[in-house]
Amino acid sequence: MSVELGIVEGYYGRPWTWRARQETVAHLAGHGYEFYIYAPKADEFLRKRWREDHPPEMAEPLRRLSARCGELGVRFGVGLSPFEIYRDFDDHARDSLRRKLSSLDALGVRQLAILFDDMRGDFAELADTQTRIVHWIAEHTRADRIAVCPTYYTDDPVLDRFFGERPPGYLAHLGATLDPSIDIFWTGEEVCSSEYRPGYLTGIAEQMRRKPLLWDNYPVNDGPVMSQHLHLRAFTGRPASLADVIAGHAVNPALQPVLMRIPALTLAESYRLGDAYAYSAAFTRAAVEVLGADLAGRVGRHLALFQDRGLDRLGDVAPRLREEYAAIDHPGAREIVAWLDGADRFSPEMFEGA
């Protein structure tokens, strides 16, 4: 079945390199990925310092990434998180936002994501205020497509514990007031949903008054718990029949840009093959394509160690694994070594600074 696939680079932690972004776009474009949204939480010029332009050393590679996406037929996007602007959307905020949108237009942004996630949201006028902001943005951007991530982007009550209790009827009210041409992201029943079912998403679509744009938090591995693991297994729990009830499927990738291509390829295969999809065989095919046969075989043998046991529970196995993968000249092997060395270990400061 056909569904629009994309990457939304929305993780916390150490950001990818610009080269890794270009290489990932090029690889996935050949497998049906049609959009790419740049939105790493570590980019403070999209979040806490959103009123400032990107400095030249960031703006120029962003322009090159946008141009490369255009060459590949991939829609380039940016995720802007105007931090808690809905608490005081005054003339000063509008002037700052107008300048920011102009700078993003200059980068060639075709898909603009307005991200209200991971902010306080416990006040009654939240949906109305966010709708007013997004409609204003729609009038002042040249982007072809706009998507919104709500403050409460899942049914998971963990958001209410961290960001305040959601206003009653928040999602339904947002859906009723927001222009129907604007997409709404949704992560599912949980922040990191283990599966999606068409019936559940049909109910969400009724609340939103539009099909949800999935923000799939697999294979992302940020945070204090998930950064202990390499999420490499093939996608499961995403039946091809989802294509009928969603506006698109965006993958939030792992911190390892080469290794994440393995599960990303399997998602495309699962939609392509439908009921004929077999996740174990899909993993093998994707791993061989990304890593080559030999390295893919090694990773397959160690899959449970990487994904299930986790870094701090490897014990005496860790030095042996490091020695084995350090001897292999491949970027995927180097990502495994860096992970074993703790390069992607999450710290609380990564969350507080975003």
How large is the average pLDDT for residues 249-272? 98
pLDDT at 352: 54
pLDDT tens for 43-67 read 999 999 999 999 999 999 999 999 9
% of the chain at pLDDT higher than 70: 98
pLDDT at 347: 74
Confidence of residue 1 (pLDDT cuts 50, 70, 90): low
Residue with the two structure tokens 């911190």:
255
pLDDT at 87: 84
Pairing type for strands 5-9 and 248-251 reads: parallel
Token couple for 77: 């996007």
How large is the average pLDDT for residues 297-324? 97
- Quote the CA–CA distance of 154 and 161 in Å, as a whole number: 13
pLDDT at residue 140 above 90? yes
SS3 250: strand
Token couple for 314: 């490897």
Confidence of residue 143 (pLDDT cuts 50, 70, 90): very high
Confidence of residue 240 (pLDDT cuts 50, 70, 90): very high
SS3 254: coil
Confidence of residue 349 (pLDDT cuts 50, 70, 90): low
Least confident among 117-126, 127-136, 151-160, 266-275:
117-126
- Quote the CA–CA distance of 198 and 338 in Å, as a whole number: 38
pLDDT at 83: 86
Q: What share of the chain is helix, strand, coil (3-state, %, to 5)?
A: 50, 10, 40
pLDDT at residue 310 above 70? yes
- Quote the CA–CA distance of 163 and 152 in Å, as a whole number: 9
- Quote the CA–CA distance of 117 and 114 in Å, as a whole number: 9
Confidence of residue 346 (pLDDT cuts 50, 70, 90): confident
Do 188 and 154 form a contact (C-beta atoms < 8 A)? yes
- The helix (run of H) or strand (run of E) holding residue 186 is strand 183-186
pLDDT at 84: 81
Token couple for 75: 């829609």
Token couple for 185: 């992201």
- Quote the CA–CA distance of 272 and 333 in Å, as a whole number: 29
pLDDT at 126: 95
Within 8 A by CB and 6+ apart from 188, the residues are 154, 155, 196, 200, 214, 216
Q: Which domains does the chain have, with CATH numbers?
A: 5-288 (3.20.20.80)
